[in-house]
Amino acid sequence: MLVVLESRDLVPGAQACEGGCASQTSIHCPTTGMRANGARTRVRMLKKPLTLLATGVVALPFVVVKRSRLFKRAGYAAAFREASTFFRRVRMRRRTLSLTAWLTVIAGLIVISPNASLQQRSDSISVKGGAGDITGEYQIPDPNWPQWAHPYPKPGYIWGSQGGVFAESPNRVYLANRGELKLPDKVPPNFPGNWGFFNQMAATQPIANMVNCIVVVDGTGKLIEAWNQWDKLFDWGRGPHQVYISPYDPERHVWVVDDMRHVIYRFTHDGKQLVQTLGVLDEFGENDDLTHFRRPTMIDWLPDGTFFVADGYGNTRVVKFDKSGKALLKWGSRGTGPGQFNTPHGIAVGGSPPRVFVSDRGNRRIQVFDTDGKFLEEWPGIAPHSMLMSADEHVWAVDSLTDRIVKFDLSGHVEFSFGQFGTRPGYTWAPHQISADSDGNLYLSEVFGGRTQKYRPKPNADPTKLVWGRSLMPLGNARTN
């Protein structure tokens, strides 16, 4: 609440100041410096809790009586008695208003806190962690991981926005790198090697050179492979969006989503051959078109090879494909109702019977469907960039609203969360894809922070608070590192 001073006897031509303070001569409004003149002045309360909560500031004007016609009309004694009564009332109301206002602010902060937004149900399973729990059961990441990018192999440049990361094993990690960025001529000595240090969003500022778009590193971050022969695929776009391997594919094909050019690529495990392209390069289709995408975002699979694509930035749908890549059906339309979407960005598949969990990012919820698109339920209060179905059958979601990593059971209960926005090691700026290996190492790619961080478990970490990657099928006739 705000205290507003009013008078029944305004000076001709006086105007009210913003927030409701009257412009008078006997009352002084310190916010604007305006004064008012009147025989009877009173205090009223202006109820604007939204303004109060938005600013987080409580302002109670101080009242100063400079002069009043009371002194002329009734003499000093009468004027003193009325003025004294007036100030006693003002003091009493100010005390009441101060207490009420601060209680309102505290209540508002509790309501809009990050943890409150993550609590999905009102049963006995409550949100754990806390806004100060930055890395959970993980150690602070090494800022010099991966070795490949520290220093970056091309002098004067660094790696760009990190669209995706996928840990095939603890010793083979794919990085979907949105090209390289030219450094300023003068770089501070404490520069950590990622674009987020400059407080500019690496995904949009500046335009990147599409070089080293897909690289593979070992557990230390040392370069194993650079698929530079495919950099040309990402020209005229903004680089790879995310990267995957199906856990049910014995050949371990590598899938790369390119949202800007409306296609999904499938490569051989070693990257030497492009074996399939879903969609049509640089052509997009509308929501009912099963032959084209319009900026697809993410993929996940069923054990029989059936897979689901969130077609996500331009269209508002999920498309189901058989294992050969033939489109079977689609569901979704633009809107806020059940089964409607506003940027279906992330997707995860799991459970028994299997369900499809879709990040409806723009509507700030996760929607749950059966494998034919029948709506089952929604989990409100979270807007994930990415989701992952873990080996222990939990949905881990990266919340774009809070930069927290949230663990859900398959009924939508929050079991644990950690993380916080920032550019220091362990903090994140727009984590875009989440991945984990069989040792419990966690990997987060940051589109705005311009880095991928590797989180190693703390000694004696609680295994229920670690992300466990799903096991992949054994790779036939090739390396198994």
Write out pLDDT tens, residues 31-41.
333 333 333 33
* Region of residue 130 (phi > 0: left; psi between -120 and 50: alpha; otherwise: beta): left
What pLDDT does 111 receive? 38
Rounded to two decimals, the pTM is 0.74
Residue 105 tokens, joined: 């602010």
Q: pLDDT tens digits, residue range 302-327?
A: 999 999 999 999 999 999 999 999 99
Listed range (102-111, 152-161, 212-221, 282-291) with the worst mean pLDDT: 102-111
Of 88 and 473, more confident: 473
Enclosing H/E stretch for 114 = helix 114-118
Count CA atoms closer than 13 A to 79's CA, side-chain side.
15
What pLDDT does 171 receive? 97
In order of their start, the domains of the chain are: 2-112 (no CATH), 147-465 (2.120.10.30)
CA–CA distances in Å: residue 473 to residues 166, 298, 299, 361, 476: 15, 21, 18, 31, 9
Burial of residue 474 (CB within 10 Å: 0-12, 13-18, 19+) is exposed
Listed in sequence order, the residues at least 6 apart from 387 whose beta carbon sits closer than 8 Å to its beta carbon are 298, 346, 347, 348, 357, 359, 366, 395, 396, 397, 398, 434
Q: How many CB atoms lie within 10 A of CB 127?
A: 19
Provide the β-strand partners of residue 258: 263
End-to-end CA distance of the chain: 64
Given a cut of 60, whether residue 180 has pLDDT beyond it is yes
**Confidence band of 207 (pLDDT split at 50, 70, 90):** confident
Residue 268 tokens, joined: 């051989």
The rounded radius of gyration (Å) of the Cα atoms in the chain is: 29
What pLDDT does 90 receive? 43
Given a cut of 50, whether residue 83 has pLDDT beyond it is no
**Confidence band of 206 (pLDDT split at 50, 70, 90):** confident
166 closest CA partner among 110, 249, 88: 249
CA–CA distances in Å: residue 455 to residues 123, 230, 436: 31, 29, 9
**Confidence band of 138 (pLDDT split at 50, 70, 90):** very high
Chain center to CA of 15: 44
